[in-house]
Amino acid sequence: MTYPIRIPGASVTLREFTRDDVDDVLAIIGDDKVTASLSFDSRNRDQAVAMLEGAIERAQQEPRTEFYLGVTKRDDDSVIGFARIGLSGVQAGKLGYAIAAKEWGRGYATDAARTLVTYAFKERGLHRVTAAIGPDNVASIAVVQQLGFTREGTLRDHVFTNGAWRDSVLFSVLAHEWSW
Ligand SMILES: CC(C)(COP(=O)(O)OP(=O)(O)OC[C@H]1O[C@@H](n2cnc3c(N)ncnc32)[C@H](O)[C@@H]1OP(=O)(O)O)[C@@H](O)C(=O)NCCC(=O)NCCS
């Protein structure tokens, strides 16, 4: 049983969501500045509650199908973002993350992604982690490039979001390449 998970990083902690996180989560997934780069449109409060309840329920399934965790600062339990690896294929996972706009530019996404991918490789035996990122999302591309991901190519019309089809650039890293 791997519930609940709590993983300390350098500047953030990753932890399971609780129902008390609704307001913090809404400040992330209800903000067009954040969701403009995600694969879904902004969510309202009811949708944020549903998202949380789904994540909490899936977190307690055995075996787990995803590691969908809240990002907090090390010294404060409020959720300022999320990081997720969804398991897919053989020892493979898909990485995603977002940080509340008021906390951008402080290294939290890089630390959250580094912490979760390290957990996936070292504790969960994954072999390959991918991240599909919008071609214009320079901040997110900077995150994976700093962590040593390799650019594989373009996924054409990969997501339908904010009223239009959007390509993604696919990045990956393999367990033996992970140096963190
Ligand atoms: C992408 C995102 C998660 C980055 O979060 P963050 O906590 O600000 O990221 P970091 O502080 O770790 O910064 C990562 C790098 O991006 C760079 N960066 C941040 N914002 C930038 C911007 N607007 N333009 C260019 N570079 C930017 C930073 O300088 C940093 O690189 P550096 O360390 O070499 O300076 C955040 O912008 C976000 O939530 N965006 C909306 C959701 C999203 O795009 N999620 C990813 C989907 S694939």
The kind and range of the H/E element at 80 are strand 79-87
pLDDT of residue 39: 83
In one-letter notation, the amino acid at residue 173 is V
Q: DSSP alpha helices (H): ranges in the chain?
A: 22-29, 32-35, 45-59, 108-122, 138-146
Distance (angstroms) between ligand 1 centre and the Cα of 139 equals 3
Indicate whether this model's pTM tops 0.95: yes
What tokens were used for 124? 């969960």
Cα distance between residue 145 and residue 34, in whole Å = 20
Query: Do 67 and 4 contact (CB within 8 A), yes or no?
Result: no
Distance (angstroms) between ligand 1 centre and the Cα of 89 equals 28
Distance (angstroms) between ligand 1 centre and the Cα of 143 equals 6
Could you identify the residue written with the tokens 């907090």? 72
* Number of the ligand 1 atom closest to the C-alpha atom of 111: 12
Could you identify the residue written with the tokens 């998970």? 5
Cα distance between residue 100 and residue 83, in whole Å = 12
- Chain centre distance of CA 144: 12
Query: Do 161 and 41 contact (CB within 8 A), yes or no?
Result: yes
pLDDT of residue 40: 86
Per-block average pLDDT, block size 10, for the chain (180 residues)? 92 98 98 91 95 97 96 97 97 98 98 98 98 97 98 97 93 97
* Number of the ligand 1 atom closest to the C-alpha atom of 34: 41
Cα distance between residue 140 and residue 152, in whole Å = 15
Cα distance between residue 22 and residue 161, in whole Å = 23
83: Cβ below 6 Å to ligand 1? Answer: no
100: Cβ below 6 Å to ligand 1? Answer: no
Cα distance between residue 96 and residue 39, in whole Å = 10
* Number of the ligand 1 atom closest to the C-alpha atom of 39: 47
